[in-house]
Amino acid sequence: MNEIKLAGFDVMYEPSKVVYDFQELDKSIEEIEKRYKNLVISDDELKEAKKLATELNKCANKLNDKKKEIKNEINKESKAFEKECSGI
């Protein structure tokens, strides 16, 4: 039986590397949790508590946005490769 070969078909894959310090991030989150876990807010402190909640939400959103940005960047090459291969 004749063997079928594709001439010039070399595909190389180099995995992405995401650099972060998860332990430091986790430590920071734990410190924030400890500080505010048992917080009791009086009517007088409500305005400041809302500001604090807004700041905490901003931090969480920033982290989530960064995660999405990195994931999209990692997936770009894969999507481009799939698009090229789908036409074959």
Task: Tell me what the mean pLDDT of segment 39-58 comes to.
Answer: 94
**SS3 at position 16:** coil
Which pLDDT value is given to residue 81?
87
What is the distance between the alpha carbons of residues 11 and 81, in angstroms, rounded to a whole number? 10
> Which position has the higher pLDDT, 67 or 6?
67
pLDDT class for 14, splitting at 50, 70, 90?
confident
- pTM for the full predicted model: 0.69
